Amino acid sequence: MLKKKIENALNKHLNAELYSSYLYLSMAAYFHSQNLNGFANWMQVQAQEEMIHVMKFYSYINDRGGQIKMMPIEGPPTQWKSSLDVFEGVYKHEQLVTSLIHKLVDLAVAEKDRALQSFLQWFVDEQVEEEASADDVVQQLKLAGTTGPGLFMLDRELKQRAFTPPADTTE
């Protein structure tokens, strides 16, 4: 059984992960409107990954006897200045999510909840990958520029990204 303090924190984070998916879908829609379908694909894959995170938290709360509490989700931005602006936003958002995960780890340690600590380790590791992936595109955009042939080459590259659910999505 989850302590109420932990249950509330996990529900809050579940909803933060839902917002992440919502944000990335908004970014995908922006890229579609700019005829940058590779960038849109990258964001759609990212949105799917975030939904995997949502379901991991959902299952964990249920498995530990907690109650899921769905909360209102704030509408994400819908316009950006450039592709670089979008990906700098992605990188900043992933840094925020990392800090939220770290706060959950701190709570798990403080509450001596070993099962939660174990569960969260996957997310700690995942956030390293998430931040690196976003920063990689930021750096490529800085090199390629936000208009012209470099942008279109990167768009083609990002179109190749495919969603691959992790093997342990049933947890």
Q: What is the pLDDT at residue 170?
A: 46
The answer to the question of whether 140 is labelled as a binding residue is no
Identify the residue whose tokens are 């569960």.
Answer: 119
| Residue 166 lies inside a defined structural domain of this protein | no
| Residue 135 lies inside a defined structural domain of this protein | yes
Q: What is the pLDDT at residue 146?
A: 77
How far is CA 123 from each of CA 44, 88, 157, rounded to the nearest angstrom? 20, 21, 27
Report whether 155 contacts 39 (CB < 8 A).
yes
| Residue 58 lies inside a defined structural domain of this protein | yes
| Residue 87 lies inside a defined structural domain of this protein | yes
Residue 81 backbone phi and psi in degrees, to 5:
-75, -35
Tokens of 130: 């998430």
Tokens of 42: 């990258």
Cα separation, 101 vs 32, in Å, equals 31
Residue of 30, 119, 102, 128 whose CA lies nearest to 66: 119
Count of domains in the chain? Answer: 1
The answer to the question of whether 7 is labelled as a binding residue is no
Q: What is the pLDDT at residue 171?
A: 46
| Domain ranges, residue 96 | 4-158
Q: Domain holding 144: CATH number?
A: 1.20.1260.10
Report whether 13 contacts 104 (CB < 8 A).
yes
The answer to the question of whether 127 is labelled as a binding residue is yes
Q: What is the pLDDT at residue 164?
A: 86
Q: What is the pLDDT at residue 168?
A: 66
Residue of 16, 20, 5, 138 whose CA lies nearest to 70: 16
| Residue 164 lies inside a defined structural domain of this protein | no
**Per-residue pLDDT tens listing for the chain (171 residues):** 899 999 999 999 999 999 999 999 999 999 999 999 999 999 999 999 999 999 999 999 999 999 999 999 999 999 999 999 999 999 999 999 999 999 999 999 999 999 999 999 999 999 999 999 999 999 999 999 878 899 999 999 999 999 888 776 444
Residue of 43, 34, 47 whose CA lies nearest to 80: 34
